[in-house]
Structure 1
Amino acid sequence: MSKSRKTAKKSVTLVLACLFMVSAGLSGCGNASREESGTDAKTPTNNTAIDHSKPLTITVFDNAANYQGEQTGWYGKLLKDKFNLTLNILAPQVAGDQLYKTRSAAGDLGDLLIIDNSQLEELIPAGLIMDITHRVKNTKYLSKYMDDHFKPFNGAFDKVNPDGKIYAMPTFEADTSPTTYSEEQPYSSPMLPWDYYKGVGAPKLNNLTDLLNVLKKIQEKYPKTSDGKPIVPITLWKDWDGGGMENVRWLSNWYGFEQPDGTTTIQLNAKGDVMPLIDDNSMYKKILQFYFTANQMGLIDPDSASQDWNKVSEKLTNKQVLLLWYSWQRGFYNSIERGKNGDGYVAVPIADSRIIQTSDAYYGNGRVFAIGSKAKNPERIMEFLDWSVSPEGLRYYTNGFEGFNYEKTADGKFKLTEAGQTAFQKNTPVPDQYGGGGYQDGQSKINSMIMSDFVKDPDTGEFYNNNYWSSTLEANKTALTSDWQNTYNAKNATDYYMKNKMIDIVPNINTSFGVDSSDIKNMRSQISDYVKNASWKMVFAKNQAEFDQLWTKMQTDVGGLGWNKVLASDTVKAQKIVQMRADASAGK
C-alpha cells in the first residue's frame, strides 16, 4: 500500500483495515535549504521545555491524505489536549496535483510535508526543505532510527545532499531487516469469501480462466447481500492510477512482474529482467486481457469507471465484492466473530502464479516526512513527530485507545476488546471522554507513519500490528482459519506460497533515482495519461477486435510521445534497483 506512489496514499487504509483482521517555479525559491546550527536546532526531549500555552495550527501538505481540512474527531482531540496542536491538511488527492506546483512555485508548501521521494529531490535544492539533522539527533525516539534508517536513505540523495544531512524521514519503515518479510499474506494475491467459494464446491484454480469461471458461479449463486445490495465479482477504481492503471499493476505481481516506483514504461521481475509495458508479452497486457474478459462475462462492477476509492471501501465493508487483491482489504469485513462462523475473505491460490513480493519496508516505501523551510514552529512539529514513533504514539495510531480498543492481559501483553475488533468496520461511536464521533471518522487523516506497525512495542515484545499479537493469533483460531489451514496444509498464505515455491521475496528498495529532466518529465506525464486512458478503454472494449485495435494503437501512439526516451530512463532505474537488491541480499 515495492509499493506504488499511491500505496502510501492508501497505506493508512492499509493500517486501519489491518487493525481488524516539480515545476519551473522551483528555481526561484532559493539555492540552498535552511541550515540548522546552535541551540536553536535542538528539540528538547522533555516536553515541559516547549511552550504549549499558545494554540498552534500546522499546515500539513500531504500526498497520502484522502481528506482535506482540519483534523477532527478523537485523534484531533488527542493532539489538542496533548500538544495544543491542530492539523490543517492540504491533500493533492482531493484538491488536485496542481496544488503542489502552485505552492512550491510560491515558495511555501507548508509546515509539515508528506511528499514523494522525487519531490524531495526537487525541493532540497529549491530551498523548501529544512535541514533537521540536529533536531532528529536530539530527540528521544526518532534518534534511535537515525543511523540505520534515516542516514542511509538521505545519503542516497548525494547529488542534492552531498554532505549527507537529514532532510527527511521515510514513511512506513519496519524495524526488522532489509530482507525479512513478516506479513502472513502477500501484499497482492487473490482472495475470495470462503463461504461463497466453498458454496460452489471450492474448485482448484489452475489459472486466471478458472478464477473467472468460479467468480461467475459465485455471482450466480450469491447475487445479493442479505440486505439486498448487489454483489459484484470485481470492482475497479481510477483515483489511484499513476504510471498506468493501478488495478492492472498489482495483479501483475501475481505472475512475477512489478512496476517499480517512479517508472512508467516497464515491469521488472525477481531475476532482474525488464519488460516494456507495451510489449505484446507483457504481464500488463495479460492482466488487461483478464479484466476485459471479465467484463465480457459480466463480472466487472458497472460503477468502476465512475466511482472513487471511498465508494469501493463502502462495498468492501458490506461484502459486496468477491475478488480482493490487496492483503489489507480483508480488514474492511473480516472479524474474529465472523471467523467463528466460517465467514471472511481468505487467500485462494492460483496454481500457475508466482508472486513477486518485496520484503519489509526497512528503509521506507516511497514517501517521506519533512519540514518546510518556512515552518515557524519546527520544535513543536518535531515534538509531535518524535511522539508519533514513541510507544504511546504508535499505539494510538495503530490501535486506538487502551480500554476502548484494547486492554492489557495478565501477562502484560495486549488483546483487542470486543468493541475494538470491529470499531473501524462499524465506525463505532467513541466515548465522549475521547472526543466522541465515529471511530473511523476520527482516525488520523495524515494517512501515513514514519515507523510502521512492524516495529516491536518494547513493553510487550510484539509488533504494534495487532494481527500479530499472541492474543489475536489465539483468538483467530476460528472455524475460518482452521478450515483454511486444513484445506491448504499451511499456517497462512505466505507459508503456503513459500512451501509451494510460488513466491519470490526481493529486498524492498527505497531510494532516489534522480530528478527527470523537464523533457522526460513532460513525456512521462503524457505517456502516463495516454496509457491510463487507453487501458480503461480496453477493459470496457465492446469486443476482442476493439481491444486488440486499442492495444495496437497505444503501442504506436506512445512512440510519438517519447516512449523510447522514457523507456531508456526507466531501464537505468531498473538496473539500479537490481544492483541494490543484490547488495541487500549479500548483506552489503
Structure 2
Amino acid sequence: MKRVQKMMAPIAAAVLCFTVLGACSNNAVNETVEPTAADNQAGVQQNAKKDEPIVLSIVNSAGGTPNFPTGDAFWEDNPVAKALEEKLNIKLQWDVYSGVGKDKLNVTLASGDYPDLIMLSDPARVIADKIAIPLNELIEEHGPDLKKKYGSALNLLKQDDGNIYHLTNSYLPEGATPPGYGYSLQVRKDIYDALGSPKLATSDDVYNYLKQVKEKYPKTSDGQTMYPLSGYNRNWGSPYFGMIAMAGSPADSKIYIGPDDTIKYWAKAPWAQEVLQFYNKLYREGLIDPEAFTQDYATWQKSKLYPARVAAHIGGWNQTYDVLKTYTDAKLPNAENMYFENVVFKFPSGDKPAVFSVSKKGTGAIIITDKCKNPEAAMKLLNYLTTEEGNFLAMNGPEGIQWEMKDGKPTLTQSYLDRWIAGEKQVNIEKETGMGHYARIVGSDLGRTSWGTYWILKDDPVATNDTRAQQRDQALSPYWYDATTIGDLMVGADTDTLNKQQAVDKRLYENAFSVILAKTEAECAAEFAKFVSELDAAGAEQVEAYMTKMHQQYEKQLSGT
C-alpha cells in the first residue's frame, strides 16, 4: 500500500500544476460558488439521516401483562424512552403480548418474522433453533459494564458450546448485598411492648413469649379467642416454611445443604426434628391457632388477622404489613401501635437463618435474534441498562420528574413522595415517569446504589421515611442466602427421577402434619421417623443424589472451572 501511495504522489502533483497553469493562461477568475437550494436541502437531509436514531424492535413475551398495551403512545413517548434516545441515539419499537405470551411467541417464531430483541421466560427453544445469537464477542467488545455487573454469573449463562445466548434480570449484582426481605416471626407491637419487649433470639425465647401472650391476652377486647401464634395453609410450605428458614433451609428451596456440599431434603437436616417438635409443642399447649394448618389465606385474614385475634405470625413479612390500615380505619384503641415487627430467631441445633434467597444468575431471559441488523447497538443498550446510571433511570425515570439530587443522593420530590405515601396507583406514576418497564430488560433492584439508596426509590424505607420498613430491613437483611447454585436442580433429570421428585415433594408437604399435630411428644418422635422413612421409600435418595450432582456442577461452572 505504501508503494502505491509513493507512485501516486508525483502524478497528483503534475495534475495540480497543469490545472493551475491552465487556469492562469485562460485568465480565469477564482469565484466562490454559492450552493443552490437543492444543495442545501440535500445537506439537511444528509444531516437528518445521520442523526436519526437506531430503531430496534423488541417483544415482551415474558409474562406479566404490562399496564400499557402495544400501540399506546406511552411506549414511544415515555420519559425513559426519550432519555435513552438522547443518550444512546437508540429507540425501541415495542410489541407486548398479553395473556399467554408463550403461545403467541411460538406463532411469531414459526413465521420467521420476529424482532431484533425478545424478552421471554425460557430461552431453551430459541437457543436450540439458533434464533438467539451468541453474545460472547459482543459482551467483550461492547459490554464492559454488563460484564462487571454480572461478574461470575456469566459463567452460569454459558451453554455446553461455551457461548452465552441470553441475559437475565433480577440477578444479584457482583458484590451486592440485598435489602431485608423474606420470612420472619412477626409480633404485634402493642402486645410486645406491653410484655416488656423481651429478647426473642432463640426458639426458647419465642416459646416463653408465646406463653406470656396466652396468659396475659387470652381474649380480645370483644371476647374472642386471641391466638399467640397463628397462620394459614396456602401452599406446601406456608404452615412451616418460615420456621425451617429460621433453622437454615434456604428460603423457598425445600432443601438442606450439608457441610460436605451434599443436598438433602430439609426433613433430613440435623435440626429438622427439633423444628417440627417445636411446632408440635406449641400445638399441644394451645400456643398456636389449631386451624393454622387447614384454613386458607382469605379465611385467615377475615376471621383471625383483621379482627385483631393474631398476636404473632410466622411467614412472609408482607403478609401482615398492610393490616395496620384495617386497624386504624376501624378506630381500634391504640391502633397506631398495632402493627407487626419482624424478628429472626435461631434454633439450638439450627444453622444461620436463611430467610431470603437470591441468585446471581437471575431470572427470565433477553436475547438478540439472528434478524437483528445492528447487534452492536443492541448490546450497547443492554450494557447501558446495567450501569448505575442506566439501571437507576429504568427503575425510577429520569431526574427532574419524581426525583432530584439533594445532598449528594437521589431523593423523591415532595409531591411524588406524598403520592406514594397516599397509596396512589403505580400505573399513574409509570405513565408520567416511564419507571419500571425498561427495568424488565436486564435490570435488577437487588442491592443498593453507590448513594446508599434502594434502586427503586419508592421502595426505599429511608427515602419514604417508613420507620416500620426500616425496622424490617434492619432485622432481615443479615439473613439472606446466595441460592445461585441451588436453582434448576432438576434440569436434565430423566423421567424416573422426575416422577420420584414429585412423589417425594407430595409427602414432604402432606406427611409433616402428622408430626406437627401429634398428641404426645412420643407420638411426635415416632411420626417424625415415619415421615423420613416414607420420603426415602418414595425415592428421596435418588433425587438427592441428582440434586447434589447438579449443585456441585453449578459451583464449578460459577467459579469458571
TM-score normalised to the size of structure 2?
A: 0.61
Counterpart code for 1:555: V
Paired residue for 2:505, among 528, 541, 544?
528
- 1:171 counterpart = 2:169: yes
Unaligned runs of 5+ in 1: 1-45, 93-98, 486-490, 498-502
Shift in Å, 1:472: 3.4
Deviations 1:420-450 (A, max 9, x none): 66866864246968549xx9xx996999674
Q: Which residue does 1:571 correspond to in 2?
A: 548
1:59–1:89 contact (8 Å) kept in structure 2: no
- 1:323 counterpart = 2:317: no
Deviations 1:167-209 (A, max 9, x none): 22233223352xx6454x4754434343331122222336325
Alignment of 1:99-248 (within 5 A): 111-115=118-122, 123=125, 126-127=128-129, 130-131=132-133, 133=135, 137=139, 144-146=145-147, 149=150, 152-156=152-156, 160-162=159-161, 164-177=162-175, 181=177, 183=179, 185=180, 187-205=182-200, 207-215=202-210, 217-218=212-213, 221=217, 233-239=229-235, 241=236, 245=237, 248=240
- 1:413 counterpart = 2:409: yes
Counterpart code for 1:557: E
Are residues 550 and 173 of structure 1, via their aligned partners in 2, closer, same or farther at CA, if it must alter by over 3 Å?
A: same
Distance 1:294 1:443 in 2: 46
Deviations 1:477-507 (A, max 9, x none): x6997xx89xxxxx94479x7xxxxx79778
Q: Which residue does 2:248 correspond to in 1?
A: 256
Counterpart code for 1:413: K
Are residues 529 and 445 of structure 1, via their aligned partners in 2, closer, same or farther at CA, if it must alter by over 3 Å?
A: farther
Equivalenced residue count is 474
Distance 1:309 1:371 in 2: 40
Counterpart code for 1:464: W
Are residues 234 and 271 of structure 1, via their aligned partners in 2, closer, same or farther at CA, if it must alter by over 3 Å?
A: farther
Partner SS for 2:256: strand
Q: Could you say which structure has the greater relative contact order, defined with CA pairs below 8 angstroms and 6 or more residues apart?
A: 1
Q: Which residue does 1:368 correspond to in 2?
A: 364
Alignment of 1:218-367 (within 5 A): 218=213, 221=217, 233-239=229-235, 241=236, 245=237, 248-258=240-250, 266-269=255-258, 272=261, 275-279=264-268, 282-296=270-284, 297=286, 299-300=288-289, 302=291, 305=294, 307=296, 322-326=312-316, 332=322, 344-350=339-345, 352=348, 354-357=351-354, 363-365=360-362, 367=363
Q: Which residue does 1:60 correspond to in 2?
A: 61
Are residues 107 and 538 of structure 1, via their aligned partners in 2, closer, same or farther at CA, if it must alter by over 3 Å?
A: farther
Are residues 61 and 268 of structure 1, via their aligned partners in 2, closer, same or farther at CA, if it must alter by over 3 Å?
A: same
Distance 2:444 2:513 in 1: 33
Partner SS for 1:112: strand
Distance 2:381 2:306 in 1: 32
Are residues 372 and 205 of structure 1, via their aligned partners in 2, closer, same or farther at CA, if it must alter by over 3 Å?
A: same
TM-score normalised to the size of structure 1?
A: 0.58
1:188–1:253 contact (8 Å) kept in structure 2: yes
Distance 2:290 2:378 in 1: 43
Partner SS for 2:191: helix
Distance 2:52 2:355 in 1: 38
2:119–2:366 contact (8 Å) kept in structure 1: yes
1:235–1:300 contact (8 Å) kept in structure 2: yes
Distance 2:368 2:551 in 1: 31
Please tell me the root mean square deviation across aligned C-alpha atoms, in Å: 6.0
Shift in Å, 1:524: 1.2
Shift in Å, 1:328: 6.4
Shift in Å, 1:145: 1.3
Distance 1:431 1:567 in 2: 44
Percent identity over the alignment is: 13
Shift in Å, 1:558: 3.2
Structure number with higher helix proportion: 2
2:178–2:447 contact (8 Å) kept in structure 1: no
Shift in Å, 1:527: 1.6
Deviations 1:551-587 (A, max 9, x none): 4444343334322211222233454577789x69xxx
Deviations 1:115-137 (A, max 9, x none): 4xxxx6x6477438723517964
- 1:472 counterpart = 2:463: yes
